[in-house]
A and B are shown apart, each in its own frame.
Chain A
Amino acid sequence: NAGVMQNPRHLVRRRGQEARLRCSPMKGHSHVYWYRQLPEEGLKFMVYLQKENIIDESGMPKERFSAEFPKEGPSILRIQQVVRGDSAAYFCASSSRLNTGELFFGEGSRLTVL
């Protein structure tokens, strides 16, 4: 069974460009979570999605950030007009059921904004 797949693993963008991060959950998992991690810090929750629905986006900045999990295809975290402060590791996790703290994480996408 393939684990949670994230790509790209590394992404470099200049200020003002767009970043798109993709996440394919584990097979059979319909719950996807995005977390952000700054260096030497713990992860910060951003958004929780089920297929085609955003359930909780309370951790996601209101502007420039959006997330989707379409019926077909991977979940996408989109950051428009990136700024240097967006530089971080973005982790996707998936689970097979609601209300579980047992999440399966991907290897992360590391965004560097020049």
Chain B
Amino acid sequence: DAKTTQPTSMDCAEGRAANLPCNHSTISGNEYVYWYRQIHSQGPQYIIHGLKNNETNEMASLIITEDRKSSTLILPHATLRDTAVYYCIVRVDSNYQLIWGAGTKLIIKP
């Protein structure tokens, strides 16, 4: 079973920041938080991952709380093309399986 809890769906206005929360209250010290997204009928796309420090790349920012029990993925300026299902996954670095939950369906509205 997935070790994360995410809202089923969210809306965001185009051009605004989209903030997607994820709870992982049972995360272990050696587990990373990964985010992927899946645009309709396409393969999943890696977005970002982190252990305990906040991370930023060209796609998004990842904010992990100090106790590591939750995190937030931030898309700074959402576009219509960001409409997708976003998956938050926790993974031990020595384990090559990714265990996927149902994700959050993010709809960007014009």
Contact = CB atoms under 8 A, between A and B. Distances in A.
Interface of A: 4, 31, 33, 35, 40-45, 48, 55-56, 59, 91, 93, 98-108
A44 B34 contact: no
A107 B43 contact: yes
Contacts of A44: 100
Interface of B: 2, 32, 34, 42-46, 49, 87, 89, 91, 93-94, 96-103
Contacts of B93: 99, 101
Nearest to B34: A101
Contacts, number: 56
B89 A101 contact: yes
15 contacts: A4-B43, A35-B98, A42-B87, A42-B100, A48-B97, A56-B96, A56-B97, A93-B44, A98-B96, A99-B94, A100-B96, A101-B49, A102-B34, A103-B46, A108-B42
Contacts of A99: 93-94, 96
A37 to B, nearest CB: 8
Contacts of A59: 97
A24 B60 CA distance: 29
Q: For chain B, what secondary structure do more than half of its interface residues adopt (helix, strand, loop), or is it mixed? A: loop
A66 B66 CA distance: 44
A59 B100 CA distance: 13
Contacts of B97: 45, 48, 56, 59
- Which of B32, B43, B91 has the largest number of chain A CB atoms within 10 A? B43
Contacts of B103: 42
Nearest to B100: A42
Contact of B2 (A42, A48, A55, A105): A42
B96 A104 contact: no
A93 B103 CA distance: 19
B92 to A, nearest CB: 9
A107 B44 CA distance: 8
Given A101-B34, A101-B49, A48 B42 contact: no
A43 B96 contact: no
